[in-house]
Structure 1
Amino acid sequence: MSGLLEIIIVLIIGGVIYQMFFTTKDLKKYNPNENVAPEYDKDNYITPPKEKDSYTPEAPQGNKTPFGETLVTIDEEKELLKRTSILLGQDIKGFDDFFVSPKELNAMCLIVGATGAGKTECIKTLLEYALTNNHPIIIVDGKGDPKFPNEYKEMCDRYNRNFKLFCCEADKSLHYNPLRHGQYTELKDKLIDIFEWSEEYYKNQAERFLQGVFRVLLLSEAKELLGYEVIDLQILIKAFSIEVMENLVPQLDGKANFMLPILAEADVKAVNGYAGRLKTVAESELGELFVDTQDPNVIDLMESIENNDIVFFSLDSLKYSVYAQMLGRLIIADLKTVAPRFAGKDKQIYTVFDEFNVFASEIIVNLINKTRSYGFRNIMGTQELADMIINGDEKLLRQIWGNTNVKIALRQDVSASQEELSKGVGTQDLYKTTITKGKSGENQQMSDSLSATLEEELYYKARDFGELTIGEAIVFIKVPKFRHARIKIRMVS
């Protein structure tokens, strides 16, 4: 039996060797031209039977869209965003574009940046949308650096925008009349808070007399008798006197009899003291700039907003510290009076108050609170958050902080400002893992144990605000959706 098995094995091995080495094969190469696939016939196509409990998705509906067209849609959305929002810069980590919408700015904006951090360039970028879309812009610069208005005028010329400049150089400045518009109470409010008051009694006395004088000056009979068309600072000063009013009232045929009890109860010291303050302004080297010459170039904020002008007030707070403070407050009061005239007109009005701590007071907080519904986008800039702490009082800082939606923080050099901004952005919840080494078990072998705890952590540490380079900013927006980023500001020229 074993011999037969050996013979079979030898024959198999011999057969394999013969097939491998002593036979020839006719290898036929495949030619696709000679093998044509049958045409597809949907009527003759048999669908495999559906298995029990199987799922077959429905066929896609609608028109076919080539894959490449999806890129076009993305580009179109990005272009739409560029046309309707402000490209502020790019995220320094992912290089994603960071946009700010006009609607977000309508809830007001605060920019802080130490000297040389890039605050002025950031303001230019924020205003580019308004500049190119023919929206009115009012800029009040408390620093008074001539470089800013000169550069901005060049940008306005490039876009064919009407530019008006008021500055502390009489030969380069246009005239400005903040008293052209308003009822007598509105006009009184414009002027009463531009000065500081130490005693409420004298303020109340001056305020009552001032309101009465404006009421008289608005009478057509008074205009005809005194020979003026509009009230300006010079006209007011001439009339702001108890003696002048006592002589004028009887000549107005009873139309100004409301002034008689005011004259009878007026405090001469209070009236003369306020008159002296007004004369100090009018008799300065810049006093002539408040004369209304009726020239079309006289700055009239209501008219400029209607005409979509760009008005730049450059206030030299170094050379004229008291004057700059007074004028800044006057401009804000003028805007506050003008704002309600644009209710329901669907205008976007961009205002900038750079170095606003020069003229900061309750009046600027009122402007922020009350002009939003009239289409104002108020942008305030200062060097440090600490600049808004006046004589140790943080009231103004808290009011500005609580009433601004968009906050742009460039480099901050004061530690108190850094800490305030760090806390202001807020915190996030993070799970932190902890690995503990120890002995366990009967044999006391070394082992690792892992635990996780939920902790609150600041989005940005205080030092992050001090380490920002030129043109870098940390931006955070509260509404309509909280978002934040560390970005490189896009420069415009």
Structure 2
Amino acid sequence: MDPYLSKQREPQQTELDRMIGEIVIYALLGMVGILFFLPALLGMLIFAIVHMFKRESVYYVALGAGLLVLILEFQQGNFFTYFGLISEMNIPYLSSGVEQIINEGNLIAVTVESYVVLIGIALIFTFIFFILTKFFWKKKVTTKSGEVQKQKAEHKYKSFRKNRVSFLNKKQLLYRGKLTNEVFIGYSDFKERVTLQPKELNYHMLATGGTGTGKTTLIASLVEAALQQEKPIIFMDGKGERKSMLEFKALCEAYGRKVYLFSEMDDLTYNPIKNGTPTETRDKLMSLFSFSTEGDGAYYTDIASRYLQLVIKLIDEADVSRDIRTIAKLTNYKYLNAFFREHSIEVEIEVNVEVEVEEDALVGNAAVSQDDDLSDFIVSAEPKPEKIKKTVIEKRKRTVTKLQEGMQVIKKILDEEFPEQMVEGCLTRLRMQLGELLESDLGHLFVESETGIDLQKITDNNDVVIFSISGSRYADYIKKIGKMIILDVNSLVAYRQAKGRKSIFGVYDEFSAYGDRRIVDIVNKSRSAGFECIISTQTLSDIDTVDPIMTEQIISNCNIIATGRVNSSKDAERIAKVFGTYSDQEITQQVEKKTLQTRYESKMGTVREVERFNANPSEIKNLQIGEIFINRKMVEEKDSDTYFRRVYVRNALDLGGIK
């Protein structure tokens, strides 16, 4: 016989033996199950009760008690009395079969021991069920994403999504019906009310989303919450969309707030250098313009910087209102001399003056010495009157022009260190750039007036100021205006730190139109003075265009991230990464190939741990109007995940219900 053929048959024989063995085992188990179905049912009931309390030690106690009962009953010869219960039930074939095997076909009497044995066997079955559930029974495999998709497929989810606008309007009316400190944004897609904690915005928010995606209504809901809490508001809009700003103005006025709206279409003035120390004001102006930092350029820049600081100190000493026009004039040496003359004062002083005067004197009547022996023989001459001139010191009052002490010190420095030739040569670029700013479309608004914008006064009175400049019309100009406003906010931060911390709500919309790293740093530091800020942009790529490092700065320093729809796949993927991931399970299934054309799913598969996006890029791209994703990093939920929701945002620009 071929040994190769014998080897082929050997595993077939082994497989047959295994199959027969399994049949025998299953048959025995079936017989045991039939004979002991009563204790099995009772054991299942006991298992269900114990399982509710989740105490595994009880199962081991049950096993010990069951074995002890059976051993004692077996020693006393009472074990088979259990089958009296089977005989008593008179089950066809089963009862008669048991009677035939155990009691030669006679009935088996039921005694107390029958029930004791029943309980003992039931306790053992309880332990067997515990072992099966713990080690052998397959647990149901579920995934978080699968559960979410299952809930989204339900009718109540779809119905709420369809009727979300009317639902939000009703909830908004209730919210406006009472004063509250709640920062109410809207509802999640699973009908969960979404609110922010009172101090959460002090750690700043980044909001992204294209036009018409719900970003504006999100900002409006936060503005309304600030109005209800009587916080002052500073709103910087780099898009210049007048319709939206007028809607925000109307919202603020509906709550009885005074609103200052600064734009190219209005006449409200704004003096950005009114407040702050001379050094702060110098930095504001120097940051607006470009100066070379190499070679002679650095020398001229240092001269311009120091000259500006001295001029600002001079204006303060003269008690004159600071404004850009006055500073621009003082870069002209002739106007500087005129300024000194204008602010000098006349004082009356006493001076010593040498004066020649004439006096009458007698000449010829000399004094006679008493020691002269011939004096008695000389006849004295007759004295003659005569005019004599002499110089005397007289005190006279005189009017002189004089500068105050502080101005005099500054004038001395300017005279000694800034000769006219240097001023005219080195300050030409500074004078030209200041002039360009003043001659622009909005230059006439950067003057001091009693009714103009003063951030310190506005925040003290809990008022609202809105700066709205079109970034598309003034692409370069808005950068200078934005810097001036943010640097004025920096002075406000110092003012509030000195006077006392106060919650101030700040919105920096279309931030990429005017932002830079220094402005980001100022916004971050304003937190200590009580500022609650939102930095808003259409896409992260817009900020990347200005400075990619600045983008990462903003993301790192904002503890709330929100986004509406983003159309770019690249931006959607980046925002998804910012939102982060959650741990989940992934279930795979094997495929059995039955025919050449058809594949069928097999019952076999695998389960593995995976990380899934909180918001998939495709979901971000498909968000609807008024729908956002929001991630609150300071709010921790179960499994150490941070708060993340899909939110339907209420439309706070609809003024209905405001009392």
Task: Tell me which residue corresponds to 1:216.
Answer: 314
What are the equivalent positions in structure 2 for 1:125-164 lying under 5 Å apart?
Answer: 125-164=221-260
Give the TM-score of the pair, scaled to structure 1.
0.74
**Aligned partner of 2:328 among 205, 230, 237:** 237
What residue identity is the alignment partner of 1:271? L
User: Residue type matched to 1:308 in 2?
Assistant: N
Aligned 8 A contact 2:180 2:229 in 1? no
Identify the residue that residue 400 of structure 1 maps to in structure 2.
Answer: 554
Distance of aligned partners of 1:460 and 1:303 in 2 relative to their CA distance in 1, 3 Å threshold? same
1:123 is the counterpart of 2:219? yes
Determine helix, strand or coil for the equivalent of 1:387.
Answer: helix
1:24-173 paired onto structure 2 within 5 Å: 83-92=180-189, 94-169=190-265, 172-173=266-267
Higher relative contact order (CA 8 A, sep 6+): 1
Q: What letter is aligned with 2:181? A: T
* 8 A contact 2:232–2:459 mirrored in 1: yes
Contact 1:166/1:314, CA 8 A, preserved across alignment: yes
Contact 2:204–2:558 (8 Å) recurs in 1: yes
> Relative to structure 1, is the Cα distance of residues 436 and 396 closer, same or farther in structure 2, using a 3 angstrom cutoff?
same
Aligned counterpart, 2:633 = 478
Determine if contact 1:249/1:259 at 8 Å carries over to the other structure.
Answer: no
Shift of 1:143: 0.9
AA of the residue aligned to 1:471:
G
SS in 1 for 2:269: coil
Aligned equivalent of 2:522: 367
Are residues 1:314 and 2:411 paired? no
Q: What's the secondary structure of 2:412's corresponding residue?
A: coil
Q: Does residue 342 of structure 2 align to residue 188 of structure 1?
A: no
With 81-90 and 136-145 compared, the bigger mean Cα shift is at 81-90
Quote the residue 1:175 is aligned against.
Answer: 269
Equivalences, count: 395
Find the counterpart in structure 1 of residue 492 from structure 2: 338
Q: Give the partner amino acid of 1:464.
A: E
From 512, 517, 520, the counterpart of 1:357: 512
Structure 2 regions of 5+ residues with no counterpart? 1-173, 342-402, 593-600, 637-641, 655-659
% identity of equivalent residues: 30
How far apart, in 2, do the equivalents of 1:466 and 1:276 lie? 47
Residues 310-369 of structure 1 show CA distances to partners (whole Å, capped at 9, x for unaligned) of 001111222233222211110000001111211273421011111111111123212222
- Partner SS state of residue 84, structure 1: coil
- Give a deviation string over 1:203-246, Cα, whole Å, max 9, x none: 44432222222122221xx34xxxxx311112111112355446
Pairwise CA distance, 1:194: 2.1
Q: CA deviation at 1:283?
A: 2.2
Contact 2:181 2:229 (8 Å CA) reproduced: no
Q: CA RMSD in A?
A: 2.6
CA distance in 1, matches of 2:270, 2:208: 29
Give the corresponding residue for 2:360: none
Distance 1:412 1:82 in 2: 35
Aligned match of 1:206: 304
Q: Are 1:280 and 2:371 matched, yes or no?
A: no
Q: Distance in 2 between matches of 1:369 and 1:190?
A: 18
Give 1:267 deviation, angstroms: 7.0
Q: Is this contact kept in 2: 1:249–1:257, CA < 8 A?
A: no
Kindly indicate whether the alpha-carbon contact (under 8 Å) linking 1:328 and 1:359 is maintained by their aligned counterparts in 2.
Answer: yes
User: Per the alignment, do residues 410 and 253 of structure 1 end up closer, same or farther by CA in structure 2, a change over 3 Å counting?
Assistant: same
Q: How big is the shift at 1:197?
A: 4.3
Q: Indicate conservation of the 8 Å contact 1:111/1:382, yes or no.
A: yes
Q: 1:416 to 1:242 in 2, by over 3 A?
A: farther
The residue that corresponds to 1:290 in the other structure is: 446
SS of the aligned residue for 1:83 comes to coil
Displacement of 1:178: 1.4
Task: Report if the CA contact (8 A) 2:562-2:631 is conserved.
Answer: yes
The answer to whether the 8 A contact 1:131-1:159 is kept is yes
Deviations 1:362-399 (A, max 9, x none): 232122221001000111111111100126x4111111
Q: Is the 8 A contact 1:246 1:263 kept in 2?
A: no
Q: What is the one-letter code of the residue matched to 2:287?
A: D
CA distance in 1, matches of 2:225, 2:211: 25
Work out the CA distance in 2 between the residues paired with 1:412 and 1:433. 30
**1:95-129: per-residue Cα shift (whole Å, max 9, x none)?**
10111224111111111111221222221111111
- Aligned counterparts of 1:284 and 1:406: Cα–Cα separation in 2: 38
Q: Following the alignment from structure 1 to structure 2, what is the Cα–Cα distance between the partners of residues 262 and 425?
A: 57
Partners of 1:236 and 1:436 lie apart in 2 by: 79
Instruction: Judge conservation of contact 1:208–1:262 (CA < 8 Å) in 2.
Output: no
- In the alignment, the residues of structure 2 paired with residue 407 and residue 270 of structure 1 have an alpha-carbon distance, to the nearest angstrom, of 47
**How many angstroms does 1:259 deviate by?**
3.7
Using the size of structure 2 for normalisation, the TM-score is 0.56
Map of 1:236-275 to 2, 5 A cutoff?
236-245=327-336, 251=403, 252-260=407-415, 262-263=417-418, 268-275=424-431
Q: Which residue of 2 is the match for residue 74 of structure 1?
A: none
Note the residue ranges of structure 1 that are not aligned, 5 or more in a row: 1-77, 224-228, 439-445
Asked whether the equivalents of residues 113 and 409 of structure 1 are also in contact (C-alpha less than 8 Å), the reply is: yes
